[in-house]
Structures are given as structure tokens and as C-alpha cells.
């Protein structure tokens, strides 16, 4: 009886291990970027944009507007690197305060964008280093 | 039988100690003994530190002095509109205090800018509008730097000119002041739990008999 139980537990662990190793490379990449992005977000973004990406009234835009993020997907990396000035419309509200440039490296930008565009109700998939480098090369 | 009685009394005492809430907030700041004559007898009383008189201008361009706060409980803090670090967090939390008490004319919020050069009256008005603040419950106060930095000490706060990195440094505390202009609590404005406690403490303070009668 005891042996059966041990075998049972062993089998369960084996199956779990096999199933989790079956995670595709894409999923592994996503998890890596997302987890790294969460801590970068806390350190560099959360004070202003809020724990839940809620922003602050009409001063700081929320990060919960999937449409804005999708429409500006290729510009997000540039916003983080160079800051953002001028009027933007997010979630039907106008915002025209300045966001200061950050000193994040391209890999950090990729991670934090993966986090933001897949949190707060967004689901846009991984933003990897290659994509960020491509977008940064085209910054206006 | 005697045991039963004992347990009953013990239970009552325990219950009682659980239900009794502190109904008076402490008075903070320096205190000094004051001796005065009452009815021909010498009485020694405690004099607590109070916020001295001041003169600032709010977001509407109105002059605000300590007189405008007579008969009012208020919360004070220090900030500047372009502050990238703790201010958005503080004012996200202060907004909860504002929402809770904005219809109470005997309550105010005073936010002093520590960057008067940039935060002029129109800049403060724009900030108020963008924060969704209207009416007179939350005043954003402009004054000369010396006055603001001076009064921060009365609130037990530390604010400094720009540090070498080019930023202003200031504490993120919310200070609760009673109708006698005494400090009754300090709360870390960046911590939502502390700000919840501030809201609860304001209610406790409002219920103190001494506060209820003060004009």
C-alpha cells in the first residue's frame, strides 16, 4: 500500500515536470520578460501610474486603455526612452503634462512594456528586445 | 459555583477591554508647563506647541491666514506639482481624505508647494482642476520659500532646497491639526493604510467634546 502511494507521488511529480517542460519557448520568454517587468514597473512607473495602472485623475494617464496602447504600440519604447510631451487622449480624456525620459536600457524597456501591455486588462503578448531595438531606431 | 462567578467576571472584564476604543487622540509636539492663577489659586497647566500665524495664497488667489482656519480641523502636507517621486502617491491617497470630508465646511486640506518659483497660483489652479478638486475644502498654498520652509518646522516636517541631483527633498507626512491649532497626528502619506487611519482619526477628533464646541 505504502509502495503504491510512493509510486503514485513519483508519477505525479514526473508528469508535472514533463508537462511544465512542455511549455513552449515563447511562453518561457514571456514569463521571463513579464516577471522582470513587474519589478521595473514598481521601481520606475508605479508612483505616478499607480499599482493597478490607474493613473491620477487628469494629471497622469491610466495604462488601462488597451486601444491607446495598441494604436501606439510601436511608439511606446520611444515614450519611455525620450519622455512624452504634448496632448494625448487616453480613455476619452485629454492629458498634457510631461512624462520625463527614463534611463532604462532597451532590455528593461522590453521587460516593462511586456508587463504593462499584459497587465491592467491588457493582453498584447511579449515585447522582446529585438522589437524594442527596432522601435527605438525609428524614434522621432 | 464560585468558579463560575469568577469566570463570568473575567469574561466581562475581557469583553469590556476589547470594546473600549481610544476616544481621544494624543497631542504632539513640544509641551511646556504654564503656571497661571485660576480663582485665586496657582494652577500648573500644560501648554502644547501650536501652529503659528501665517499668510499664504491659495489656488484662487485668495489670501489665507491662520484666521481662515479658526473653528476648523485640517490636514497639512508639503509637495510640488512637478514632483516625480512621492507626490503622486501622496495626493492619490489625499484624494480619499478629500472625498470623505469635502462637504464638511469645518474641515480643510492645506497643501504647501515647496517650489513657489514654478508652482505659481495659475499652476496650482490648473493642478487643482486636473486633480478634480473644486470648492474650498482643499487649498493649494503658494508663499515665499522662507515662509513655507519656516512653517514646515512647526508641522515637524523637513523640507529642503534642491539637493545636488537637482531635486527638492521633503517628507511625505500628512499632519492633523485640531481647532486649537495643535498637532494631533502625523501619517505617512504614501501608505494607504496610514491614510485610512488618518480618516478614522479625523472622525475621532471631530467627536471630541473639546472640538465639537470650539469655534
Once rounded to an integer, what is the mean pLDDT over residues B127-134?
96
pLDDT > 60? residue A95 = yes
- The domains of chain B are located at 54-207
Rounded to whole angstroms, how far apart are CA atoms B126 and B45? 46
Helix (H, G, I), strand (E, B) or coil at B106: coil
ipTM of the predicted structure?
0.75
- Return the residue matching grid coordinates 513640544: B30
Could you tell me the CATH superfamily of domain B54-207? Glutaredoxin (3.40.30.10)
pLDDT > 80? residue B165 = no
Distance from CA of B179 to the nearest CA of A (A): 31
What percent of chain B clears pLDDT 90, i.e. is strictly above it?
A: 62
From A16-20, B129-133, B141-145, the region with the lowest mean pLDDT: A16-20
B2 Cα distance to chain centroid? 52
Helix (H, G, I), strand (E, B) or coil at A128: coil
A82-101 residues touching B, CB cutoff 8 A: 97, 100
pLDDT > 80? residue A25 = yes
Across the interface, whether the CB atoms of A47 and B129 are under 8 A apart is answered: no
Burial environment of residue B117 by CB neighbours within 10 A (0 to 12, 13 to 18, 19 or more): exposed
Task: For B88-124, write each residue's pLDDT tens digit.
Answer: 999 999 999 999 999 999 999 999 999 999 999 999 9
Task: For A49-84, write each residue's pLDDT tens digit.
Answer: 999 999 999 999 999 999 999 999 999 999 999 999
Across the interface, whether the CB atoms of A56 and B129 are under 8 A apart is answered: no
N-to-C CA span, chain B: 56
**Interface with chain B: mutation pick from A42, A46, A48, A50, highest number of B CBs within 10 Å:** A48
**Residues in chain B closer than 8 A to A59 (CB atoms):** 88, 127, 130-131
Q: Which residues of B touch A (CB under 8 A)?
A: 84-86, 88-89, 91-92, 95, 127, 129-132
Residue B164 confidence class, pLDDT cut points 50, 70, 90: low
Distances in Å between the Cα of B107 and the Cα atoms of B129, B132, B160 are: 20, 18, 28
DSSP H helical ranges for A22-105 = 25-44, 46-49, 66-71, 76-82
Distance from CA of B190 to the nearest CA of A (A): 9
**Of B85 and A23, the one with more pLDDT:** B85
Domains and CATH numbers, chain A: 25-137 (1.10.760.10)
Across the interface, whether the CB atoms of B92 and A59 are under 8 A apart is answered: no
A42 touches chain B (CB under 8 A): no
Amino acid at each position: 500500500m505504502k509502495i503504491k502511494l510512493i509510486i503514485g507521488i513519483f508519477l505525479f511529480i514526473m508528469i508535472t515536470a514533463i508537462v511544465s517542460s512542455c511549455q513552449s519557448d515563447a511562453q518561457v520568454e514571456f514569463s521571463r520578460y513579464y516577471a522582470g517587468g513587474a519589478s521595473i514597473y514598481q521601481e520606475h512607473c508605479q508612483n505616478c501610474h499607480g499599482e493597478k495602472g490607474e493613473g491620477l485623475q487628469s494629471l497622469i494617464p491610466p495604462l488601462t486603455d488597451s486601444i491607446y496602447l495598441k494604436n501606439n504600440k510601436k511608439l511606446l519604447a520611444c515614450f519611455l526612452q525620450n519622455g512624452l510631451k504634448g496632448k494625448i487622449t487616453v480613455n476619452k480624456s485629454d492629458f498634457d503634462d510631461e512624462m520625463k525620459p527614463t534611463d532604462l536600457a532597451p532590455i528593461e524597456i522590453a521587460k516593462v512594456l511586456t508587463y504593462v501591455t499584459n497587465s491592467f486588462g491588457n493582453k498584447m503578448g511579449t515585447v522582446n528586445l529585438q522589437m524594442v531595438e527596432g522601435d527605438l531606431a525609428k524614434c522621432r | 459555583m464560585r468558579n463560575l462567578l469568577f469566570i463570568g467576571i473575567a469574561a466581562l472584564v475581557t469583553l469590556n477591554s476589547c470594546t473600549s476604543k481610544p476616544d481621544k487622540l494624543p497631542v504632539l509636539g513640544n509641551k511646556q508647563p504654564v503656571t497661571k492663577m485660576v480663582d485665586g489659586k496657582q494652577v500648573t497647566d500644560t501648554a502644547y506647541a501650536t501652529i503659528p500665524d501665517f499668510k499664504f495664497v491659495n489656488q484662487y488667489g485668495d489670501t489665507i491666514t491662520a484666521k481662515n482656519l479658526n473653528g476648523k480641523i485640517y490636514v497639512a502636507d508639503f509637495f510640488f506639482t512637478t514632483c516625480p517621486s512621492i507626490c503622486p502617491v501622496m495626493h492619490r491617497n489625499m484624494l480619499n481624505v478629500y472625498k470623505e470630508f469635502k462637504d464638511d465646511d469645518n474641515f480643510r486640506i492645506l497643501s504647501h508647494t515647496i517650489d513657489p518659483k514654478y508652482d505659481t497660483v495659475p499652476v496650482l489652479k490648473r493642478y487643482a482642476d486636473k486633480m478634480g478638486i473644486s470648492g474650498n475644502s482643499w487649498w493649494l498654498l503658494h508663499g515665499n520659500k522662507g515662509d513655507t520652509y519656516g512653517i514646515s518646522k512647526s508641522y515637524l516636517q523637513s523640507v529642503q532646497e534642491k539637493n545636488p541631483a537637482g531635486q527638492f527633498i521633503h517628507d511625505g507626512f500628512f499632519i492633523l491639526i485640531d481647532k486649537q491649532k495643535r498637532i494631533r497626528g502625523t501619517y505617512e502619506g504614501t501608505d494607504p493604510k496610514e491614510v485610512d487611519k488618518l480618516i478614522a482619526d479625523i472622525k475621532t477628533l471631530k467627536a471630541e467634546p473639546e472640538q465639537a464646541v470650539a469655534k
